[in-house]
Structure 1
Amino acid sequence: MQFGIITMLEPLWIWGILGLILIALEMLSGTFYILWFGIAALGLSLLTYLSPTLGIAWQLLIYAVLSLGLLAIWKRFYQRKSDDSSIGQSRGEEIGRVGTIVETVTQRQNGRITFAQGVLGSREWIAIADETIEAGNDAAIVAVEGNRLRVSKTSS
């Protein structure tokens, strides 16, 4: 009679190996989702060491509850510290800079604005506005919206 390697291993080692594999996969993915399943498997490995007569059904139930519980706790208390959606964009340093409108901008039509010194790496930008600003007038940056600058008339 020949036994497979899995049937010869004790549950302590099976859960320990599974936990280490899951944590290694987490290190490759960097998502923090697989981590909790790996920690739960390592915890269950410790539990089977302390209670070696624990049945397989109880082991699976405890693993499911522990891993999903850890994941739920992490999701509840994890809060993103920064918004990564605007990587490489201005965080307000350019707001208020004044440039000259070279192509009239209206509520319905984008225009163009130029600056004496570059703004975010360029001297000329597509301008959008909530008002009509004629070519030749000065305008100030109100917001950076993707690859366009929202501008408004300067008070002069």
Structure 2
Amino acid sequence: MISYLQHLSFWDWLAFGTLLLILEVFGAGGYLLWLGIAAAGVGVLSYLFPALPWTWQFLLFGLFSVLSAVLWWRRQRSAAKPSEQPGLNQRGQELLGRQFVLHEAINAGRGKIKAGDSLWLVSGPDLPAGTAVRVVGQDGVLLKVEAL
């Protein structure tokens, strides 16, 4: 085994890097991408410096792996920005503050409004159907309303 390590060529590193990148395609979630790139980098260095000892090759592989992963992580963190649509995928949030007409009367604190093509359960003071209301809050799928 030691004799194999002492005679590592750049082809070994490039093959290892290619194998890691192929495995990444099958859904590793980005983890093997940086290892594959690091292995390819060591392959290029061992091509440029053929007398590079195997211990240095492994140390460079470890260094490149950690360095590339940390740099990518920092880039991802700095590129993250708040959404331009903060209520996206939060049904009902877009209804806050809007006015509707009661579709079904509020009896015992529960009724319904029609918003677009959907009926929403509402809670509030007892009001007859046809009363104008404003949405003032949300509790899960239940909208809280008040009379206008």
Q: TM-score, normalised by structure 1?
A: 0.64
Structure 2 residue 113 is the aligned partner of structure 1 residue 125: no
1:98 to 92, 97, 100: 100
| Residue-pair matches, total | 136
Higher share in helix: 2
Partner letter of residue 120 of structure 2? W
- Larger mean Cα displacement after TM superposition, 69-78 or 22-31: 22-31
- The answer for unaligned runs of 5 or more in structure 2 is none
Partner letter of residue 144 of structure 2? V
Structure 2 residue 133 is the aligned partner of structure 1 residue 152: no
Match of 1:113 in 2: 112
CA RMSD of aligned residues (A): 3.5
Question: For residues 22 and 135 of structure 2, what CA distance do their matches in structure 1 show?
Answer: 48
- How much does 1:151 deviate? 3.4
- Larger mean Cα displacement after TM superposition, 50-59 or 135-144: 135-144
41 and 133 in structure 1: CA distance in 2 versus 1, 3 angstrom threshold: farther
Question: For residues 67 and 94 of structure 2, what CA distance do their matches in structure 1 show?
Answer: 43
Question: For residues 124 and 63 of structure 1, what CA distance do their matches in structure 2 show?
Answer: 59
Question: For residues 108 and 48 of structure 2, what CA distance do their matches in structure 1 show?
Answer: 74
Q: TM-score, normalised by structure 2?
A: 0.67
1:65 to 63, 66, 84: 63
- How much does 1:17 deviate? 1.1
